[in-house]
Amino acid sequence: MASFTALTWFLILVPMPLVAMVVAWEFLGQVCSRQRSSLDKKK
Amino acid sequence: MHIDIITTFVICFMIIFGIGIVASRVTRNLSDYMLGGRRLGGAIAAMGVGASDMSGWLLLGLPGAFYAHGINQIFMPIGLVLGAYLNWQFVAARLRVYTEQVKDALTIPAYLDNRFHDGSGTLRIVTALVVMSFFTIYAAAGFVGGAILFQSTFGLSYHTALFIGAVALVSYTCIGGFLAVSWVDFFQGTLMFIALIVVPSVAIWHVGSWQQTMTILAGISSKYTDALTDFDWVTVIGLLAWGLGYFGQPHILVRFMATKSKAEIPKARFICMLWMIVALYGAMFTGLVGVAYFRNSPLANPEEDFLQFAHVLFNPWVTGILLAAVLSAIMSTIAAQLLASASAVTEDFYRRFLRPHKASARELLMVSRIAVFIIACVAFAFAYNPKNNVLKLVSYGWGGLGASFGPVILFSLYWPRINKAGAVAGIVLGAVTAITWWALHGLGGIFHLYLLVPGFIVSCLSIVVVSLLTMPPSAAIRREFNEVNDILQH
């Protein structure tokens, strides 16, 4: 069954999605900290 | 040529042109004109960064590179994604705050001028010359992209298509304004994103299946399935180094300066990076599937890959929209580049040195239009040689700007000891190294390494050495640096 080599799959599937996950994680972190601070203010 | 394609193409083109004109009418002052009044929300800023960065290169140059050279080009998108991420992470917020802190600088030359309290104008002249030289080459890539588009759409010869494309692009730059660019970029970025998902998916479906596509690619050459075929370190380092270019692109950096506040940056970074990663995958697979799809009649020009798919896979109405997406991508970037070069001539040279405090607004507008025309003529001359393809011209413009300004921007944001002499040395030696390396490319060996690498290294070294050998910056400059640090910590 023809396919990319293992290393090619690794290069396609790892570095760029890894960066995507990092930015998504940071963004979620910012959203959560904003919500927490707005909840703290309400208290 | 199908009349439906031309009709849709013209309608889409008129809509984009209309958005440009309407948005340029609502600009109120210079800050509005240059930075949208620093009011851009996260999503608009993100798409602006993505679309102005990628332009026609993403739809023509990158698929063409994968089509011609194979999957080893994957190192270029990886380098670009890492570079873009680091640029958002370490430059965006700091530059946003710093430019506002130093007399509300609206452009990169103005930022450098104000950052180093340069009363002599040396930095402005040097910056203006470098911006003008490399943006002219970069704009030539836009002309080549326009020529390939008109050639493929209307079946014209390369030189006739180049001439018609150049007239359309320069008219847009002079009539419409740039001021709309952020909104046009948002529209255009969305169109490019959809096109880069739809085109490779439909193409794979037409070939048969993913498995069938892979089988065909493996049968043609191992370079389409193995990223390490013809592996050599000089090429891989050169491709990864494309990412270093991000730190020095004035047309991208100004989008950071235009965001509403530093709090918008994480949201903008998230949207921009996701857009970019999906779009790069789309361009990569458009190139690879093109090899399988066009295996019986290989394309004479690999950079036509996306355009040929637009013609053969879709209903003529959809083809018209896809072709308009390509033209709009080229148009907004070339407008930004031509106008940045023209403003270097008008603001940083003519108004500052030739007619200080005397030039009227009308006179400046005329000088600006003449500058656009002359720069466009030089770019046209570069584009006239059909051997100068989009990727080659973009690599030179991108590398030259990255090597000249990248290190200076990074050091000016993070190293308090950098001074004006160090900044001038960094810009000049970075640019000279990049140009010299390009001229020596034909010698082969180490000179095959992408010019951005030696240019960036020489620029960094010259900034450090010259700054340390000359007087430290004044107390006022250091105070501003510390104020920026304080703002960023709160």
Q: Which residues pair with B259 in a beta bridge?
A: B40
**CA B317 to the chain's CA centroid:** 29
Judged by DSSP in three states, B406 sits in: helix
Is the separation of the CB atoms in B110 and B250 below 8 Å? no
**8 Å CB contact of A20 and B217:** no
- DSSP class of residue B472 equals P
Q: What is the pLDDT of residue B260?
A: 83
**8 Å CB contact of B269 and A15:** no
Q: How far is A43 from chain B (nearest CA, A)?
A: 23
Q: What is the pLDDT of residue B156?
A: 86
Q: How far is B140 from chain A (nearest CA, A)?
A: 30
Q: Which of A5, A15, A22 sits opposite B226 (nearest CB)?
A: A5
Q: What is the pLDDT of residue B151?
A: 87
**8 Å CB contact of A24 and B81:** no
Q: How far is A41 from chain B (nearest CA, A)?
A: 18
Q: What is the pLDDT of residue B37?
A: 57
Chain B residue closest to A15 (CA)? B78
**8 Å CB contact of B225 and A8:** yes
Q: What is the pLDDT of residue B175?
A: 64
If phi > 0 it is left, if psi is from -120 to 50 it is alpha, else beta; for residue B439 that is: alpha
**Of the candidates B331, B320, B12, which has an alpha carbon nearest to the alpha carbon of residue B168?**
B331
Using a CB-CB distance cutoff of 8 angstroms, which residues of chain A are in contact with residue B71?
A: 4, 8
Is the separation of the CB atoms in B213 and B292 below 8 Å? yes
Is the separation of the CB atoms in B107 and B343 below 8 Å? yes
pLDDT, tens digit, 9 for 90 and up, residues B75-108:
999 999 999 999 999 999 999 999 999 988 878 8
Q: What is the pLDDT of residue B204?
A: 96
**8 Å CB contact of A5 and B215:** no
Q: What angle do CA B352, B407, B416 make, to 5 degrees?
A: 85
| Average pLDDT, consecutive stretches of 10 residues, N- to C-terminus, chain B (490 residues) | 78 75 60 58 80 84 95 96 96 94 85 92 89 91 90 87 87 61 73 91 95 95 92 92 95 84 88 95 97 94 94 90 83 78 80 77 79 89 88 93 97 97 97 96 90 97 98 96 91
Q: How far is B281 from chain A (nearest CA, A)?
A: 9
- The Cα B441–Cα B392 span in angstroms is 12
Q: Is B317 exposed, middle or buried (0-12, 13-18, 19+ CB in 10 A)?
A: middle
Using a CB-CB distance cutoff of 8 angstroms, which residues of chain A are in contact with residue B269?
A: 23, 26-27
Q: What is the pLDDT of residue B251?
A: 83
**8 Å CB contact of B267 and A27:** yes
Using a CB-CB distance cutoff of 8 angstroms, which residues of chain B are in contact with residue A19?
A: 81-82, 85, 273, 277
- The Cα B294–Cα B313 span in angstroms is 12
Using a CB-CB distance cutoff of 8 angstroms, which residues of chain A are in contact with residue B214?
A: 2-4
What's this model's pTM, rounded to 2 decimal places?
0.91
Mean pLDDT of A5-30: 94
pLDDT range class, residue A14, cuts 50, 70, 90: very high
Interface test mutation site (partner A, options B75, B81, B90, max chain A beta carbons within 10 A): B81
Chain B residue closest to A17 (CA)? B277
- Tokens (6 digits) for B122: 């040396």
- Tokens (6 digits) for B407: 């290190």
Q: How far is B478 from chain A (nearest CA, A)?
A: 31
Q: What is the pLDDT of residue B32?
A: 53
Phi (first) and psi of residue B276, to 5 degrees: -65, -45
Chain B residue closest to A1 (CA)? B215
Chain B residues touching chain A at CB-CB below 8 Å: 71, 74-75, 77-78, 81-82, 85, 88, 211, 214-215, 217-219, 225-228, 266-267, 269-270, 273-274, 277, 280-281
Q: Helix/strand/coil (H, E, C) string of B176-197?
A: CCHHHHHHHHHHHHHHHHHHHH
**8 Å CB contact of A4 and B214:** yes
Q: How far is B421 from chain A (nearest CA, A)?
A: 37
- The Cα B36–Cα B21 span in angstroms is 14
Q: Is A37 on the interface with B (CB under 8 A)?
A: no
pLDDT, tens digit, 9 for 90 and up, residues B339-375:
778 878 887 788 777 877 777 777 877 887 888 888 8
- The Cα B39–Cα B251 span in angstroms is 17
Chain B residue closest to A30 (CA)? B266
